[in-house]
Amino acid sequence: MQDGTPHDGAASRPGSLAGYSVLVTGGGSGIGLECARVLAADGAAVTVCGRSEERLAGAVAALAQGALPGAGPVTMVAGDVTVEAEVERIVGAAVAHGGGRLDAVVASAGGSLHMGPLVLADVEAVRATLDLNVVGTFLTLKHSVDALAASGRGSFVGVSSHAGRDTFRFLGVYGAAKAGLDMLVRVAADELGAAGVRVNSVLPGVIATELMTGITQGGPVLDSYLEEIPLGRVGEPGDVAALVRFLVGPESSWITGQNLSVDGGQSVRKGADYSAFARAVHGGDPRWALIEPTA
């Protein structure tokens, strides 16, 4: 029976991740980049991963330029999280950057290659979306878990989506992929608790990143979002990064197997409607009548 004292790897003061080594996949932009910034600012040695060396180099330069005294070092490694041999190499680079250890992984690599009705989806786009979000997260966990267990304070955080919890019209493939990620996290938490590795996911709502500019700049899809968000605003990458930072650090040492929403409360209502985008792309297809029958 435990006595309730902090575990052996706990930081000496809140807000410090000094001595931590963290891998952030999808760390070249958006939520992943902001997570890397917040973790490094708190003292962690951070390795950012992505497929584009150019984007990663720009991200590392930006993080170095804005770093405050006490920030941890940041490095990059390019690679594809859907290729097992590359994931092994990526994790190895993160362990080396951390001086032989890895305390946390933020699996932020994700996205969707399809938006539209399920009955009009291209099967290869479906497979690629599932591969990136589910298989990529699985491979990242598979090849990082030994180092996470050895650290004595290992934390794995998957970046999921509100679309994996509630229905969003015309984001069904992406939603299915994120729902798969969330179940993967829950099962892994159950299996790895004995090893002292915590596994959780965060479920962002609409976040003002470069990728979401087409929505956040205004229009019917944004209106659909705002109608369902109790706090009445779009989220910022920092809103997600703050929750990720908590899940990485010792303050959350008794939290595992959770899929935690960070969406301004939208998950208490319902998902947004992407009809405007889907209609623009697929409205000319004869099978669109299955979605919006003509009078």
Active site members: 174, 178
Strand order in the sheet with 21-25: 74-78, 45-50, 21-25, 104-107, 155-159, 198-204, 259-262
Phi, psi of 213 (to 5 degrees): -60, -35
Nearest to 266 by CA among 244, 288, 295, 233: 233
Long-range pairs for 275-278: beta carbons < 8 A, 24 or more residues apart: 275/169, 275/170, 275/220, 276/219, 276/220, 276/221, 277/115, 277/170, 277/214, 277/221, 278/115, 278/116, 278/117, 278/169, 278/170
Provide the residue count of the chain.
Answer: 295
Q: Which residue has the tokens 């099967």?
A: 123
Longest dimension (CA), the chain: 68
Q: Which amino acid is at 119?
A: V
Say how far apart CA 147 and CA 155 lie, in whole Å: 11
Report the run of H or E that residue 25 belongs to, with start and end.
strand 21-25
Q: Is 71 left (phi over 0), alpha (psi -120 to 50) or beta?
A: beta
